[in-house]
Amino acid sequence: MSEFKKISTALVSVYHKDGLDQILAMLNAQGVKFLSTGGTRLFIESLGYECEAVEDVTGYPSILGGRVKTLHPKVFGGILQRRANQADAQEAKAYQIAPIDLVIVDLYPFAATVASGASQAEIIEKIDIGGISLIRAAAKNFNDVAIVASKKQYPYLAGILDTQGAQTTLAQRQWLAKEAFGVSSAYDCEIFRYFDSLEARPSAMRIAIDGSMPLRYGENPHQQGYFFGDFHKMFDQLHGKEISYNNLLDIDAAVQLMSDFEATTFAILKHNNACGIATREPLVEAWRAALACDPVSAFGGILITNRQVDAVTAEECGKIFFEVIIAPSYTEDALAILQQKKNRIILVQKRKIDTKHTFRSALNGALMQERDTKQETPEDLKPVTTELPTPKQVEDMLFANKIVKHSKSNSIVLAKDLQLCASGVGQTSRVDALKQAIEKAHSFGFDLNGAVMASDAFFPFADCVELAAKEGIKAVIQPGGSIRDNESIQYCDEHGVAMVMTGFRHFKH
């Protein structure tokens, strides 16, 4: 038996017509017969090709406002009949069911209709019935039938038609079937998630992410890794090597951190934590201040800014080794400078992260939560000490609070003049995080007199404010909520330290 299956009849029924004309032209040139419904049939005929109406095959018109068009044994029998099965062949002959060898179909835009804010009645009408049924039927019978379930597969089909004519191999049909079930399962996920969102709490997790990017390896060389998603929807990679698993984690952390800053800011991240960040004008001064925070950790880090990178800044950045730089744009001269290192990854960020939830595996399941999008404002700050913070201290505290929000817990951030002095991150006790931050600040020559301190969670004891005050720190921002808050407040009052509470904890694990 030949590996190839000839395409003699194609059923075409699509919502989106763009890109279809090229496929139809190639099929027509190969003598393939067209079968279609409604608007698609009119489109095919407008191109000058003959097309048999599904209604003429079934003997039934489109009914119920278009809800029922292709749902008929003469259509599904033509798709599902097994060509090598004698009983199927006899039944098909008895009921005059002609075989269908190729199905080209797409689905009503359900997700787009939901996103548009349409009424529930409009949303319900965009739940595709005939299309999804055609996809499943053709994909199930991939031994004999080719299924194209999305315009994304048009180039693949065009390649087949161009190189081997109107015939397909089993491997090709199986690949198309796999892609088709990917389309149908993602579509069903969207429908479930819409109905589930109407309830008070989710009843199950259904996630479908199109697109996969193989990585060199996972977190370590002995682990295989993949990224599922559309990386190029968020970034254009202008230069550099293949992006790694660890690069992606750092890029994600960098983008989330920078999303909280509006003024000209430059940040350096290492292992998902900011090791340097500063807000300054011009951009090159923001870079210099960020690098001064911890020039040791900056080696091999991830750089990100929210402004166009100019040549002067690029020249300064190029003096150290770094893995990735992210910016909204680059001048031509800056790009030429940065591209001098062949492996350096240069990214243009085209959009912010707009997902509302975060996910991570845990035990034999997954954890889901709302993304922490809270950004404290001056109105969120509740003074709890006799000493009130100055406007400059408020500015520095809000700056530090943004950094601590994006640092691994337990975390303490020390900042001054919109510059990170040092941070202590990922510690098992809050006072250890502070000790780490103070030691780092001293090692890089920072004077902490007049600096501010931010904590991602409350102080369980007064030891942190005691240690901070002895270093000259004059203002503290923290969520509050400890049963010993009064001890910390009392110490601050006795030593002229201003403290504000926000009421919002920012754990990050």
Catalytic residues: 140, 271
Q: Name the nearest CA neighbour of 473 among 451, 491, 504, 454.
A: 451
| Region label for 19, one of left (φ > 0), alpha (ψ between -120 and 50) or beta (otherwise) | left
Which region, left, alpha or beta, applies to residue 156 given φ > 0 means left and ψ of -120 to 50 means alpha? Answer: alpha
Backbone angles phi, psi at 305, to 5 degrees: -140, 160
User: Sign of the C-alpha dihedral, residues 109, 111, 116, 119?
Assistant: positive
d(CA 124, CA 112): 12
Label residue 63 exposed, middle or buried (CB < 10 Å: 0-12, 13-18, 19+). exposed
Beta strand 322-327 with 265-270: parallel, antiparallel or unpaired? unpaired
For residue 450, what is the DSSP state?
T
Amino acid at 109: P
Cα separation values, 362 from 112, 161, 357, 367, Å: 31, 46, 16, 6
Residue 118 tokens read as 């349409």
Rounded distance between C-alpha atoms, residue 307 and residue 263, angstroms: 9
Would you give the DSSP letter of residue 220?
Answer: S
Other C-beta atoms closer than 10 Å to the C-beta of 195 total 10
422-427, Cβ contacts within 8 angstroms, sequence gap of 24 or more: 422/293, 422/294, 422/446, 423/273, 423/274, 423/275, 425/273, 426/273
What whole-number distance in Å separates Cα of residue 509 and Cα of residue 503?
A: 19
- Sequence-distant (6+) residues with CB within 8 A of 158 are 22, 23, 26
CA 506 to chain centre: 22
Kindly compute the dihedral angle of the four CA atoms of residues 478, 482, 484, 490, in this order, to the nearest 10 degrees. 30
